[in-house]
Amino acid sequence: MGSFRKPRPRFMSSPVLSDLARFHASSPAMQLSNASVWNSVQTAVIKVFQGGGLQANELYTLNESIRWLLRTELGSFITEYFQDQLLNKGLTHILEKIQLHNDETRLQALSEMWVRFFTDILPTLQAIFYPVQGQELTVRQMALLGFRNMVLLKLPVDNMFQGSSFPPPITQMLLILQHKDAYQVILDGVKGGPKEKRLAAQFIPKFFSSFPELADAAINAQLDLCEDEDVSIRRQAIKELPRFASGENLPRVADILTQLLQTDDSAEFNQVNTALISIFKIDAKGTMGGLFSQILQGEDIVRERAIKFLCTKLKMMPDDTMTKEVEDYIFIETKKVLEDVTGEEFVLLMRILSGLKSMQTVSGRQQLVELVVEQAFLEQALNPTDADSVDRLLQCTRQALPLFSKNVHSTRFVTYFCEFVLPNLSLLTSPVAELDIQLEVLKLLAEMSPYCGDMDKLEVNLNMLFEKLLEFMPLPPEEENGENAANEEPKLQFSYVECLLFSFHQLGKKLPDFLIDKISAEKLKDFKIRLQYFARGLQVYIRQLRVALQGKTGDALKTEENKIKVVALKITNNINVLIKDLFHNPPSYKSTVTLSWKPVQKAEAAAIGQKRQSGEDIGATATTKKLPTNLPRRDARQIYNPPSGKYSASIGNFSYEQRGGFRGGRGRGFGGRGNRSRGRIY
């Protein structure tokens, strides 16, 4: 409708019909004709104000008269005549009718006259003057402005509007006419009953932009409604909150909506989410300001839900909303949040950053790795008995893994694992009771090792890996000599050996003469004896597994028992291939294997049930076969782990454990965030 807060513009001096001769040189007959046509229009309009209606086809005749007048010299003055003559006469008639009532009935009289004006007179005026187009003020605007100035403001409004409630038509009139005092009345409605509150929830935002001087009062009134005991009023108020989100008010609205995420009402929670998304599309950076304000300073429940909102909703935002400026802002603010986070928060925040377009480049991934390095405290020695410290390292390493590539190196993490984790492997305290912490860290090391770059202490770290590998590769029993016969054969811990052997194989590529020049001949001989003994056990294990899986395809391979056997077969095949490489003279580091906990490729799964191959065939196949191009993501997990220990003929008696992760209920580990409850701060 537009604003009526500025004075009516003056187009030019306002002549009257008797003065037309001064403004044009038309013939007297033409002037008389113009005056007659205008008088017919004027008569019809005044009749409408007095309660009369138009006759059949009269509207068409009036429209044609207006069109005719617009083509004459009088056309330039029609809007002036409409305002100064017609509205003045008609609205004066309405005012006089209202003034006939006393103070007690005047408000009701105004209400009735407004209804007639708004529903009958105004539409008729618009219809009559429909041909008048392109003016600065429309006929509707001029009529409403006239009603405000010539009727409403001529009445004693201060006395009339002292009550706490008004007839609905009065409320409608006051809002439409944009009267400041009327808007204040609506704001005060939040202190009234349910009807007044519902009306306020609807109309406060609707006319918010028309009263900038009442902006703070309007927002605060709407907030009161957002906390009302009546859930329907709350929902209505929340639904309308985005109407306040403009200019400098938007971050505040975003802050408010973020706090409202703490609601336990699911419908209300969804409405808050919808409102946040809507203002996000208006101004993404401003909305982020409100969200991060609460993430950094809000109560724990608000912080938690705000982070989850970003984690789930950002990826749904269109590209034109998620500009580089917005993504840079998210990165900067997230770095601040990461200074004090829990393990779960850290995972979610890294997921947010990893999803940003600007982080998909090599430099972007490198920035993310730097963030994770800061969180991992790699400059400090690891306390293996502190579950929180171990958990921090696990969480950070898991987040860094998907970021590593041939251009983004894992060197600092691999170095840290070799220097501080492997020497304390047996002392590590698991943050989760059911997690095999030693196997977990060895898996992480194995996954990182292919992406290790140049290492300062390569020989030292490779030697640490070598010594740890020896611990898990036993010597054969001495019973062959007939002396000191062992009561029990050594256990072959396949899962551990796969990880250590793979890591050693990857780092060994960087120092291929390690087994030749860097260790003694006696130690090399000892190592090969262990490799040979382990390889013999592997052949038995592989044969038994292939017999158990012979002929099984499709659904038969999807049973839990057979899934375990499939993974076990992958482990033994991997170890077999790597051992064959190390038996070469000189040792070779050319074979490529896929770690057993990675998803099984279809081609491999189909081949499992085929005719059994010998150990040599298996090794050759795994060595020469190219990896599929559609390898799974590095962060994919295969949750089935074969049992450690010497192979038993009873393959079906396997147990397996799920790969662990952060668990709730241990308190805050990443910085020990305290309770920040402060109550309502908006």
pLDDT in tens, 526-537: 999 999 999 998
CB–CB of 390/429 below 8 Å?
A: yes
Query: CA 433, CA 437: separation in Å to the nearest integer?
Result: 9
Query: CA 131, CA 62: separation in Å to the nearest integer?
Result: 10
Domain covering 1-164, topology = 5 helical Cullin repeat like (1.20.1310)
Q: What does the domain layout of the chain look like in residue ranges? A: 1-164, 409-477+490-643
Query: CA 424, CA 427: separation in Å to the nearest integer?
Result: 5
Look at residue 402 in the predicted model and tell me its pLDDT. Answer: 94
Whether the upstream peptide bond of residue 586 has omega within 30° of 0, thus cis, is yes
Look at residue 140 in the predicted model and tell me its pLDDT. Answer: 86
DSSP string, 241-287: GGGG-SGGGHHHHHHHHHHGGG---HHHHHHHHHHHHHHHHH-HHHH
pLDDT in tens, 59-71: 888 888 888 888 8
Look at residue 137 in the predicted model and tell me its pLDDT. Answer: 74
CB–CB of 182/119 below 8 Å?
A: no
Paired tokens of 671: 């910085």
Look at residue 163 in the predicted model and tell me its pLDDT. Answer: 59
Which residue ranges of the chain lie beneath pLDDT 50? 1-27, 480-482, 484, 486, 603-669, 674-682
CB–CB of 584/505 below 8 Å?
A: no
What is the phi-psi region of residue 598: left when phi exceeds 0, alpha when psi lies from -120 to 50, beta otherwise? beta
Q: Let me know if 429 is exposed, middle or buried by CB neighbors in 10 A (0-12, 13-18, 19+).
A: middle
Sign of the CA dihedral running 349, 355, 359, 365: positive
Closest to 394 in 3D by CA, of 362, 337, 435: 435
